[in-house]
Structure 1
Amino acid sequence: MKNWSSLRPAVGLLLFLELLLWMAVLAGWFTATSLVPSLTLHRLDSVPILGMTALLTVLMIGHLRWRHKVIQTLADAEQIASVMPGYRIFIPTWKFVMLRVAMAFLIIAWLDPKMGSRLQEVESEGVDMMVALDVSNSMMTEDVGIARLDLAKRTVKRLASSTSGDRIGLVVFAGEAYVQCPLTTDLDALDLFLESVHPNMIPIQGTAVGRAIETCWQGFDKGSEASRVVVVLTDGENHEDDVVAAARAVNQDGGSTHFLGIATLEGAPIPAFDSRGRPSGFRTDQSGQPVVSSLDEVTLIEAARAGGGTYTRASSGFVELSPILQFKDGLEEARISSVSYVDYEHVLLPWLIAAALLLLIEMLIPKRPKNRPTAAYAVLCMILVVENPLFAQSDSRTQMVEGTQAFRDSQWEEAAILFGEAAKDESTSATALYNQGCALLAAGDTDAASSAFDRTLNQTKNADLRASAHYNKSLSALLQGNAEKAIEHAKSSLRINPNNPEARHNLALAKRLKQQQDQNQDGEQN
């Protein structure tokens, strides 16, 4: 008597292909990001949706089991060929695999992979601020409504969001002090560093506030003209060094030191945790009594006066930042330049095409096999034999990516050469020429940079690109001392984009230069 075939091979195939799909996705992502560091996803926060598609495989396995049981009730294994001619267990399995992979490709396309293709120098005005965050064990005490460290991290995020245009860095300290995040205008990067802060990240416990202030001062850019501000968030129990002397040294060198007391005067016992991070009572002294941590406000006020700054004590769940912000508003600001991607190349089209091909194959696979080769077999052979150029990146795009990476590494000459090679391709010519001009301008070759921007203007009608090219032409003319050209191109940039503050700044500088040149010329004639 003929027996029913087992479902285990089909279920095993589904699980194996699901695992293979995820291995391919993860390996492909890590490989691509290592080769193209600027690669990212436009909808990065929605990546968990891709993971949820694994539930489709679980549902399909349940459907196969149900289907198999229903068919078993219709006829015996020997009679199934006459009741359902051509019945095969693996046919619905393969059709589902095509749909499953196509769904994954569609979601990847919706997540919108993109890579930076054009860099531009962005300028802002602000001060330099280094924040020292106490991560000692006492910062886990919950006498301010929540854990002191949690309140301190929230306060740093509020401070960063309230200081538009400033560069901000982060130092963490306990018994030692380390730079966790160097000075940056990228608040998203600062948030990532803040998320990873915890008391166990520094093996030497204690509260070396003075050492933290010294580390902050060493983290400033010595060549910057911006005012320097040190902000310390601590519970004030300094057991290691002289915080007042460290704050006074910063003030004598031209900076200021501000303190935020993250604790109460009454204090509270310091909680203890087991190896898994679970609460296990309170820390005790040699006599077995709980160790109480309270705010050393006297020392912090004295240190703030010595450091020429301000002092604020935290209330329940909140820290008032207005004293620091008001102090900062009166400081001298400097123009801060940073290079960032302002244009991205979206690479979702290959994923859409791959999904469409898989859906086509799934539709052409018959529900029951026939004796002659199917159209789906012919389509599959065609896809495997014919090379698809859509998945191969052109040399010009590769050169664009390599050029932007060289630009980020401050290899201006190499970047200019790579962008020049990419400019030979009509599809990337205008953007490549603009990038080449930026690289030449950064290298100090203003004549060649100006020529590259001229060629950009001749080859593109894109408004944003033309506005940027005119802006950089005005910058090149300023560096050459040609005030009239600088005024002309700054005005051209503003005609296209009236809201460009950098172009207005260049126009003002050019007019001031023109006025000085006219005055010098009149003086020579007299």
Structure 2
Amino acid sequence: MNLPEVHFLRPEWLWLLLPTAFFVALLWRQRSQRSAWSNIIAPHLLVHLHSGAHQQKTQHTAKLLGLAWLIAIVGAAGPSWEQTPVPVSQQKAAYVVVLDLSYSMYAEDTQPSRIVKAKQKIRDLLSLPQDTQVALVAYAGEAHVVTPLTDDLGTIENLIPALNPGMMPVPGSDPIDAFVRAKALLSSSGVPGGSILWLTDDIETHQVSELSDWLETAGIRLATMAIGTQAGAPIPLGNGGFLRDQNSEIVVPSVPITRLRDFTTRQGGLFTHLTLDDADVQAAVDFMGSVEDLNRTEIERQADTWADAGFWLVIPWLLVMLIQFLRNPSGRLAGLVLIASCATLSHPSQVQAQDWQSLWKTPNQRAAELLPKDPAAAAELFEDPRWAAIAAYQAEDHDQAKARFEALEANSATDWYNLGNARARAGELEAALEAYNQSIALQETEDAVFNRDLIQQLLDQEQQQQSQDMDQQGDGSQSQQDQNNSETEANSGGQEQNQEQNSESESGASDASEQASNPEQDKQQEEAQAQNQQQHGEAQDSQEQADQQAAAGQESIDEQQQAMAQQAIQEARENQEQQQAMEQWIRRIEDDPSGLLREKFRYESERRQTQDRPRNDKKIW
């Protein structure tokens, strides 16, 4: 140990020596003074009343307590006199993932599509164990930084689903701009050299020489992963068609695997083609890891820090306190409290308990750490009402999220947009539509317009379905009433016909009885009787016909009731299907971070336009 090198890592603790000296002096004075009898009894007589052992004991107590406090304060100040190497290289190895988001990445020659497979490979890359920092840059006609260098790989993984070629403000393919921004990220973080993992499906002939010259001067190592096949596939559009060029011919972008391989190997890099397993990802990580080992070695030679030796003072401090325990049993409780407090302060600075650190964090900070794991608990812990509402929404407690968003004083487009999402998830479509309109009135965004149109379409479908149900119910009741009226008229008509025939037969019979003495009348009577019998038979036939009509009417009523029951079952099934369809439509309401990234990219693109940056006027895919 060299005395000139002795210093304290936390010298602010030494200020406690001043109050410690004051209290020790005060204790010494109180212990040295005689009791209150000194004001009454003469000093030469008081000497014989005090025992020497008691006075000596009090003096030793003051000395021991003063020594204990001195050792504890010096230990807490962190004395140090030598340097030790610290493994800081894990924060100095870094690489940037450069993702191609040109329209050709929509091609489906690699199922389900090139962009889906590329994002899957990035997830596989982030899931591998690695001590490094990673950044993500996306490019089309322009390049944009998605995330800077970070060791929190979960942040990058959360943003991957939001990436798609449709969010890029400038179409095309400009990998040189992406490489320049990747180099800027590595340089700003103090990383010497660095690597780039390039996921792409194309490189133009004129870009080969430009990228080669740039890589030679930049000192960047390159690992290229080709996404797609040489056969290629058309680029699907949202309307069901395919992308066409200026000659109205369907564009079929193929992957120039040979050109990409030759370009990468000439730069001393690693070329891999898309595989079904993670062999391509593992090869890229191994390649970039071997390159970064050189950077780690150079940095570790200078990565020295002063070692905290304060914890060694715990041993003499415990010895002093043990002596005090043996000499003064009544002070053991105070000594235990002192041990617990000072032992915590004398620990090395590298070892700190998480519970102790959490005491110094605000509820909002603790809730923010809890949000990815337990959003429901985070919603109760947040003191910020806006973050509490967001946490409740992530916990899928949409009623509580709606209530919390409504309690806010919505003064921005984002607040109204979040309120609309919460209302839509809670099933309040009309209120959600109003919130989306408020958000669009303040700032028109694609996500708000999409959700507004989606909710409006749901409301129109619901209103149309209700109108159809009312029309069907009205037609069914009218047809039933018409059929009942027709059956009533048929029954009344049959009864009137029978009554007329019976009355005619009765009148004929009375006339025949009155004219029984006349032979001609007898003949007429026989003819009339035969006619009456014929009419009676016809009446019976008409009665049977009426009965048949009544039976047929009853059968038609039963059939109609059965049809109405089937119609009710069908309507219930349709309502259930409509409810399920509505839930599926509501699930389509976007609440992912793509809106924020899209706005970020658009803002950066507009700012670059004002700087007269040359635009990419070549192919758009």
Question: Shared topology, TM-score over 0.5?
Answer: no
Between structures 1 and 2, the one with greater helix share: 2
Larger Rg: 2
TM-score calculated relative to the size of structure 2? 0.34
TM-score calculated relative to the size of structure 1? 0.39
Between structures 1 and 2, the one with greater strand share: 1
